[in-house]
Amino acid sequence: MSKLITRSVQTHALPLLDRFLAVRRQTEALAEPLSLEDQTVQSMPDASPTKWHLAHTTWFFETFLLKPQLSDYRPFDPSYEYLFNSYYEAVGPRHPRPQRGIITRPGVDEVLAYRRHVTEAMVPLIAQSNATDLIELGLHHEQQHQELILMDIKHALSLNPLLSAYAPEPMPATTGAPISWLDFEGGLVEMGHAGESFAFDNEGPRHRIWVDPFALASRLVTCGEYEAFIADGGYRRPGFWLSAGWDCVQQRDWDAPLYWHEDGIFTLGGLRPRRAEEPVCHVSFYEAAAYAKWAGKRLPREAEWEIAAADVALDGNLLEDGLRHPAPADGEGLAQMIGDVWEWTASPYVAYPGFREPAGAIGEYNGKFMANQMVLRGGCAATPRDHIRTTYRNFFPPDARWMFGGIRLAEDLR
């Protein structure tokens, strides 16, 4: 069994086939509101065109499953191995990431034909294959790209002077809740994934760690609270900032979260007034850390976050809810741990004790990125519901803002 993932709970082919087809349909549904031009544009080197996401997720199944396991499989187009490889050095050379937007050919229709070709070939493979683990990895990989489709097209549409909407944004049913603090005693605890369900390799192995007593805020930091930080000179006072963060403020003219406009905010539903009670979103780690320092608190460490989330239901404002934007908190107790925004932690993205990368190209999935990144937890409003776990470790560079990143505060109890 691959070390990259734990064995799937699926016990026969039909449920896995149903899931495979549902995930493939969901990816294509996310692209449906977009024009052909929308799906080709690349707004910055860190983002990718929607068309590329559609093709790359298909390339993954073709490269790691169909080619090695089906002797009679014929690739849709051999040149796609180069065009749609992302970062797998062991597979071979690839088209440069910053230049994905200049790939006007193949067009969207041809990419969709490529998807059909690979999806149809995967159906008999799923029925007869013993590579369930790798198929599950491919599905979770595609779900990661579903979130990326929304992240990346949001950035592209935000740069259009028309500030066009991806799709209408429904009003959330929640209206906000006061903040409170929940205490956790810590101690010698275990963290990391355990059991037989799917997990990425970077979520394990499960291991022991000492955690001092701490408290966690009951909900996320809101736009209204973040506005107070700005009004108090938050972006003009270097004392709140890490050195590299202050460099970003100075060099990139940061004075508010990404997508903020005067009194408005750009969402996937277009430009609308900002709501004081909704969680602040699209802030970098540097901004999150500066806000926490201004507030007299700190960001949680990822072990603290995981301890607090141990009994949390895997439910919240996620992709299937259709809001595509964080919603105000509701109710009492520990809220918004799952969904709404990925929560920045104070923890660098490093390997857990005992971590070993799998052999071969699949081993490049996570391990080689364990430097100069920070961990985020909890999923966001663009994360598929059956993709998230409390052990899930997302990671981004500390200056990244275009993903759905937000803030939860923590403090020491001793």
**Per-residue confidence of the chain (414 residues) as pLDDT tens digits?**
233 333 333 333 459 999 999 999 999 999 999 999 999 999 999 999 999 999 999 999 999 999 999 999 999 999 999 999 999 999 999 999 999 999 999 999 999 999 999 999 999 999 887 889 999 999 999 999 999 999 999 999 999 999 999 999 999 999 999 999 999 999 999 999 998 899 999 999 999 999 999 999 999 999 999 999 999 999 999 999 999 999 999 999 999 999 999 989 999 999 999 999 999 999 999 999 999 999 999 999 999 999 999 999 999 999 999 999 999 999 889 999 999 999 999 999 999 999 999 888 888 899 899 999 999 999 999 999 999 999 999 999 999 999 999 999 999 997
Q: Please compute, for residue 261, the number of CA atoms within 13 A of its CA located in the half-sphere on the CB side.
A: 13
Same domain, 113 and 213: no
Domain housing 52: 13-158
Same domain, 45 and 153: yes
Nearest to 303 by CA among 409, 391, 177: 391
Count of structural domains within the chain: 2
Same domain, 106 and 230: no
DSSP 317: B
pTM: 0.95
Same domain, 131 and 257: no
Report the alpha-carbon angle 152-399-256, nearest 5.
Answer: 85
> For residue 165, is it within any domain?
no
pLDDT of residue 311: 92
Same domain, 46 and 190: no
> For residue 173, is it within any domain?
no
CATH assignment at residue 78: 1.20.120
Same domain, 116 and 250: no
> For residue 398, is it within any domain?
yes
Same domain, 69 and 105: yes
pLDDT of residue 347: 98
> For residue 101, is it within any domain?
yes
pLDDT of residue 130: 82
From CA 409, how far away is CA 234, in angstroms rounded?
17
CATH assignment at residue 359: 3.90.1580.10
pLDDT of residue 14: 52
From CA 43, how far away is CA 48, in angstroms rounded?
8
- Contact between 153 and 38 under an 8 Å Cβ cutoff? The reply is yes
Same domain, 111 and 142: yes
> For residue 136, is it within any domain?
yes
Same domain, 375 and 240: yes
Same domain, 93 and 187: no
Same domain, 194 and 337: yes
Report the alpha-carbon angle 258-271-401, nearest 5.
Answer: 15
> For residue 214, is it within any domain?
yes
